[in-house]
Copies of this chain bind each other. A is one copy, B any other.
Amino acid sequence: MTIQSQILGIAQAAKKAASTLCRLAAEEKNLALRGMGAALLKHGSFLMEENARDVVLASEKGLSAAMIDRLTIKEATIQAMAKGFEEVAALPDPVGKVSSMQRRPNGLLVGRMRIPLGVIGIIYESRPNVTADAAALCIKSGNAVILRGGSEAIHSNLAIAGILQETLKRGPIPETAIQLIPMTDREAVYELLQLEEWIDVIIPRGGEELIRAVVSQSKIPVIKHYKGVCHIFVDENADLDMALKICVNAKVQRPGVCNAMETLLVHQAIAARFLPLMAEKYGDAGVTLRGCPQARAILPDIDPATEQDWHEEYLNLVLSIRVVEGLDAAMDHIGKYGSLHTEAIITESYAHAQRFLNEVQSSTVLVNASTRFSDGFELGLGAEIGISTTKLHAYGPMGLEELTTSKFIIYGNGQVRT
């Protein structure tokens, strides 16, 4: 059997499973989710054995210690995955929710009902716990899922998916509602991305390179974000203590993630007062600063920021700083260099806070809070399957509801159109 026909078989089985899964009640799905969590715990030692095979191969290939750490499944990893299933089971089911019911002048009662998207393809890199987390969210939202993890984690991913599928055999969810692509060939991903008739959406999770490759090959709609070049603008009349605290948090608390701050914009009227205090805090935290000429006039020891710096997602303890004339200049900078991810203003001005919230078109906009809150859990979605920086379908952190769509439902009593 060719890779093409194997992948087609997987996609067709997923679509068939989706047509059953979309009709199941929340209770049936929740029971299955709890069963999956319990099964992962029960087969923990098997999981760790299979994971050890990946870890050995990764060491032989000379992968970095950080990558091997991300790959490794410990007791705690398994407990976290199992807890994830419990938590997702406890979330409200978005499917079947009816909204916007209205009576039309001709008596028709028109509303919208949430339904699953259908079949979701998830393409991700080395962390094997994504296999469990993504499966839980897709099943809860009534979608069949096709998982394609990184080749370094293939034994771990096959073990996790195998355990989850095994529990589905008890019914009523078809076993093929969760499938992992067993081949590690790139061709398998290419073939998957051609199957627009069978797969409704692709969600890639990983570095910019992976995502660009998926977008360029896919005939299926892709929900994605390339990168997070997040900004904080410290306004003229900011509470400087608050600004210091938030700017440290946004850069330092977890620099390797997409909602960390990458560029600090500072109002020129307070730059001379604020930047030395800020630089001291960043010095303590080991942050390397790069500045525009005005910033360097205040902080002469820092390196100059180049044009490229304003585009950069450092994902590291590096920060670019620009002194700006005011709110409009800050918003212009964000419009030009931002990635539509997350931006914050620190201000005590009511008018500036309102303008920033209304006018900045990024997917998450904050006043007086850290960019690190741009996250599905923190924003109250209960879960996060990914972040979108394209405006179609979902924009910003995506929870369960973003894995559904809504159809029109209409109650009539014999109406015809005249």
B-binding residues in A (CB < 8 A)? 19, 22-23, 96, 102, 104, 108, 110, 113, 115, 117-118, 200-201, 221, 223, 239, 242, 245-246, 248-250, 253, 335, 353, 357-359, 361-370, 372-374, 378-380, 390-393, 395-397, 405-418
Contact = CB atoms under 8 A, between A and B. Distances in A.
Contacts of A19: 335, 361
B415 A370 contact: yes
B393 A392 contact: yes
A74 to B, nearest CB: 23
Contact of A365 (B200, B370, B407): B407
B378 A417 contact: yes
Contacts of A250: 416
A366 B410 contact: yes
Contacts of A410: 364-367, 369, 373, 379
A265 B393 CA distance: 33
A364 B246 contact: no
B108 A408 contact: no
8 contacts: A19-B335, A200-B390, A201-B391, A246-B416, A249-B416, A249-B417, A370-B416, A392-B392
> How many copies of this protein are present in the complex?
2
Given A200-B391, A380-B104, A406-B395, A115 B361 contact: yes
A253 B407 contact: no
Contact of A417 (B359, B370, B380): B370
Nearest to A412: B369
User: For the complex, would chain A's binding face be called helix, strand, loop or mixed by DSSP majority?
Assistant: mixed
B417 A405 contact: no
Nearest to A353: B411
Nearest to A364: B408
A249 to B, nearest CB: 4
B358 A414 contact: no
A392 B246 contact: no
Contact of A392 (B200, B361, B366): B200
Nearest to A375: B417
A383 to B, nearest CB: 15
Nearest to A105: B380
A194 to B, nearest CB: 12
Given A104-B380, A117-B392, A362-B407, 13 more contacts: A19-B361, A104-B379, A108-B369, A110-B379, A117-B391, A253-B416, A253-B417, A253-B418, A366-B409, A367-B411, A369-B412, A379-B408, A395-B405
A418 B373 CA distance: 10
A239 B414 contact: yes
Given A391-B118, A392-B201, A407-B362, A373 B221 contact: no
Nearest to A342: B408
Nearest to A413: B368
A397 B391 contact: no
A366 B412 contact: yes
A117 B390 CA distance: 9
Nearest to A201: B392
A102 B380 contact: yes
Given A358-B23, A391-B118, A393-B393, A417 B96 contact: no
Contacts of A110: 379-380
Which among A221, A362, A374 has the greatest number of chain B C-beta atoms within 10 A?
A221
Contacts of A359: 22-23
A106 to B, nearest CB: 8
A88 B24 CA distance: 41
B407 A358 contact: no
Contact of A407 (B363, B393, B409): B363
